[in-house]
Amino acid sequence: MNMVIAPLHEVAHGRAGDKGNRSNISVIPYSAEAYPHLLEQVTEARVLAAFRHKGATAVRRYELPFLPALNFVIEDVLEGGVNGALGLDQHGKALSFLLLGDIRVTVPAGCVRNWRHR
Amino acid sequence: MGGDVHIGCGAGFAGDRFDAAVPVVETLARHDGPRYLIYEVMGERTLAIAQRLRRVNPDAGHSPYLERYLSRTLAACKRHGIRIVTNMGNANPLGAARRVHALARDLGIDGLRVAAVLGDDLLTFMSPAEVAALPVVEGIGLGDADIVAANAYLGARPVADALATGADVVLVGRTTDAALVLGPLLHEFGWAADDWDRLAVGTVAGHLLECAGQVTGGYFCDPGFKDVPDLAKLGFPIGEVSPDGDVVIGKADGTGGQVSRATVCEQLLYEVHDPGAYLTPDVVLDMREVTLEQDGDDRVRVRGARGAPAPDTLKATVSVEGGWLGEATMAYAGPNALARARLAADVLRDRSGTIAPAETVRVEVLGTGAVFGNDAGEGPSYRGTPQWGEYLVRAAVRSADGAAVQAVVDEVQSLFCSGPAGGGGFRGGVSEQIRTASVLVPRAPVESRVRVEEVPS
């Protein structure tokens, strides 16, 4: 199998939501074939590392094999959220793209969006 | 497909597109059977602002957008028997009901029946001290801050009870967003209070519909990766639910947008923490075995929701005074813009130490990765940020000291004459803030006070 390294953004999509100072970010592979690779590589530890500078203290990953998708719940990442954040994006709406841009994964080439067009 | 209930969504937040419901109503009008239009227009802070308004004027405190939404749909809905369920009641569902009647008179609509759901306001039977003592599950500790509002999330039963009065329009205050959808389903299908799997199905349908365009390709498009046709004409969703609990999500005819497994999947997990235990007053929803199946163009079938008994507490949002937020920006563009913007930021940091020494002032340069950074400017910086470009210098501060907050905003404006060359486009302002916490409150004392009121014209 032709494995390639790609930003998560080219393999999966997602959406961020906020509750208090906690964010949840879904990670949904474009191709179901990528799911086991994401399961192996997009770990709680790596996601925590991506958000540590924002104050994140813990990450919990929920697995949804029937969709398939992952759901990450990131504690204390919103710098106070709408109650206290000074940053422009108080809800952390853009954080899904921080995650998708920060993490790189190794997946079969067929799992990467637009791979053929480079 | 006989017996299916069709439920369209006309708004997913306060300020959502005012005209998006029109194609939804036109589409619903072509269907048979029970049809509903919901508008979800109430955030946590919306309610606190509404409570403040109501304190000054007992007739106020409902959605300021009520006429802008309903003037476009009320007559057609009445004509076609499409019933409206909405939380435009905010802090004053009775006042909202009277406004709906006034609107109906203006539009020449006869015989409109309106009902309101009352009883979500904890401060009608609890003292502020009792509210402050409730356990906090999300958000800030309440301390001794002044409580502006405290409202429990009611479930779908009161909505169903209000529909049972025969109302054409049901106005609620604080309920779960999903209750706007589950309520009509309970009313139509008579699902039992412990039919957990069906309640879960109705809750999933509500969860998918309540953010309106977010399930039909809105807040989704990422050009070249996730393309969505005709986003400017985004069609809002219509859910079809069968008595057995089969759900299909579609959208208004003749509109843009898209309903695909991907659009539905993003919304399914939106603001969800544990997908095995999504807590609502009606049921604990388990979506771990939910499957999504494309069922024709712009139609997705949703199966596999499971339910467990509802929790014995209700969630309530408590809002307290939150001081002031000041934000201001100045733009730098063209040759050496990055250096000029960074110098402006240095000036603001230096000056903040003098004019607002007690406050944390965030100063950053937008365009360099600041949105993803922290207050200290640490974060994933963009590679190759060019000197020749366009940058916004931004300062932000929160404080109970409004004068200090204003001083920081003024300091950004002073960059005009005292900062680096070529600063332009100053924008800034100070806004009053409300902070919120989610608390848990026992069900019985709240639910025993919930009531439905038919509001005569």
Instruction: Please give the C-alpha separations between residue B399 and each of A56, B342, B350, B351, in angstroms, as whole numbers.
Output: 23, 25, 19, 17
User: Could A17 and B290 be called an inter-chain contact, meaning their C-beta atoms sit closer than 8 Å?
Assistant: no
- Record the pTM: 0.96
Point out the residue among A13, A21, A94 whose CB comes nearest to the CB of B371.
A94
CB atoms within 10 A of CB B159: 29
> One-letter amino acid identity for A60?
R
Please report the DSSP string for B137-181 in residue order: EEE---TTPPEEEEEE-B-SHHHHHHHHTT-SEEE-SSB-TTHHH
pLDDT tens per residue across span B361-396: 999 999 999 999 999 999 887 667 899 999 999 999
Tell me what the mean pLDDT of segment B238-249 comes to.
96
Distance in Å, alpha carbon of A1 to nearest chain B alpha carbon: 23
Distance in Å, alpha carbon of A105 to nearest chain B alpha carbon: 17
pLDDT of A116 reads 56
What mean pLDDT, rounded, does chain B reach?
Answer: 96
Residues 6+ apart with CB under 8 A from A117: none
Instruction: Please give the C-alpha separations between residue B370 and each of A40, B385, B395, B403, B427, in angstroms, as whole numbers.
Output: 31, 12, 11, 26, 18
Could you tell me the two tokens for B314? 């209700």
Q: What is the pLDDT confidence band of residue B349, given thresholds at 50, 70 and 90?
A: very high
Instruction: Report CA B305 to chain centroid distance, whole Å.
Output: 23
pLDDT of A117 reads 53
Rounded to two decimals, the ipTM of the complex is 0.97
pLDDT of B1 reads 43
CB atoms within 10 A of CB A5: 9
Instruction: Please give the C-alpha separations between residue B75 and each of B97, B257, B324, in angstroms, as whole numbers.
Output: 16, 26, 42
Question: Of A37-46, B129-138, B256-265, which range is least confident?
Answer: B129-138
The helix or strand, by DSSP H or E, that contains position B317, with its residue range, turns out to be strand B313-334
User: Could B291 and A98 be called an inter-chain contact, meaning their C-beta atoms sit closer than 8 Å?
Assistant: no
pLDDT of B175 strictly over 70: yes
Top pLDDT among B142 and A38 is at A38
B43 — contact with chain A (CB < 8 Å)? no
pLDDT tens per residue across span B51-69: 889 989 999 999 999 999 9
User: Could B225 and A10 be called an inter-chain contact, meaning their C-beta atoms sit closer than 8 Å?
Assistant: yes
Residue A61 with chain B: CB contacts under 8 Å: none
Top pLDDT among B35 and B1 is at B35
Question: Of A84-93, B348-357, B378-387, which range is least confident?
Answer: B378-387
What residues does each domain of chain A span?
3-117
Tell me what the mean pLDDT of segment A15-22 comes to.
94
Per-residue burial over B419-436, b if 16 or more Cβ lie within 10 Å, else e, is bbeebeebebebeebbbb
Distance, CA of B286 to CA of B307 (rounded, Å):
6
Return residues 64-93 of A near B (CB < 8 Å). 64, 66-67, 69, 71, 73, 79, 81-84, 86-89
pLDDT of B142 reads 80
Domains annotated on chain B, with CATH: 5-119+154-311 (no CATH), 318-438 (3.30.70)
Point out the residue among B266, B276, B436 whose CB comes nearest to the CB of A28.
B266
Point out the residue among A13, A53, A71 whose CB comes nearest to the CB of B272.
A71
A114 sits in the region (left: phi over 0; alpha: psi -120 to 50; else beta) called left
Closest-approach residue (CA) in chain B for A18: B271
B398 — contact with chain A (CB < 8 Å)? yes
DSSP-derived letter for residue B108 is T
